[in-house]
Amino acid sequence: MRGPVRTVGISGQEMMFDSKIIEVDGVFVGAAIITGIATSLRFYATHESVRSLHNAILPDLAALRHRVTATFRRIGTQGGVRGDVKQIAGPRPAQS
């Protein structure tokens, strides 16, 4: 029995058939890449907090979203990089 057939483009790279945006708490963190291997998805990380998952292969979109979300939130609560906008305190107004 043969294994899965890889669909390869001219450059020798695996071809992307489709992708799904992955957002966590309104922050774009990456994309699920659907390739010629229909049994799994590859994660393309675009946010530093989930960089450790870049190119991870998971069995389905639900599993991928769950893992990315857990990693994003864990790193965020540890003081890691988040995509949130933080207000920078400026000089305080004079008291009258």
Are 28 and 21 spatial neighbours (Cβ–Cβ below 8 Å)? yes
Q: What percent of the chain has pLDDT over 90?
A: 50
Lowest mean pLDDT among 45-49, 66-70, 73-77, 82-86: 82-86
The domain spans of the chain are 16-77
Position 62, amino acid: A
Q: Closest Cα to residue 4, out of 32, 29, 39?
A: 39
pLDDT at 94 over 90: no
pLDDT at 74 over 80: yes
